[in-house]
Structure 1
């Protein structure tokens, strides 16, 4: 199976967005997994933060192509994120860590009593980095 290493196009936002988005990439890179996410101008995968009026989601992962040449778009809905939180920094980081989890083949709402960044309703003030359940899932998938 392919390694969970991929690049995304560099993004350039003000520090309000840039810092938590960069932390989200780093949050996966420091896990005890083979995950390695980098930025490269030649990457096909993109991460975009902008307003999507009429859409109620916070983040959206859309894959393109098939493995091993799969790439993706991740959209962060700045309108909904801004309206929904008082802790903007952690909420942005949580949402991007969650969407990157999809790029690593993790599913929404896994059936577990353990804390997971992939579960809806997790307290993003406490859980905004991959949790042990997510780390185990990635290691099980790629080993």
Structure 2
């Protein structure tokens, strides 16, 4: 429990590291519900890197009160996911959960969704190891162009 708490502030950086990402995934799976929520919050932007909010349980909760923040928060999540995806480190439960939340939040914004789906198309087989990853992979497959489906 204290080990997971000591990682706060460094979650995104560790998720993008080839060795640390595996350890982070084990800690994510073994953490309490609240610790998992706080680990996901770090992907939502710098605002949640140091200060955790107990009222924010999902990505959509971050911009529920201030819809003008939605674009910047989604941009931050996309940048963090792209960083992890560029290193092919998407076989993590934490990344799968954040990816699924991001895809659900972008469903009404076709341009962002299409851009993300194109970036993650080659990584879909790595995402099939968890329930959230499988659901995100289905959304990627469903929203992708026929060319990308091949």
Q: Compute the TM-score of the two structures, normalised by the length of structure 2.
A: 0.29
Which has more helix, going by share of residues? 2
Q: Compute the TM-score of the two structures, normalised by the length of structure 1.
A: 0.30
Which has more strand, going by share of residues? 1
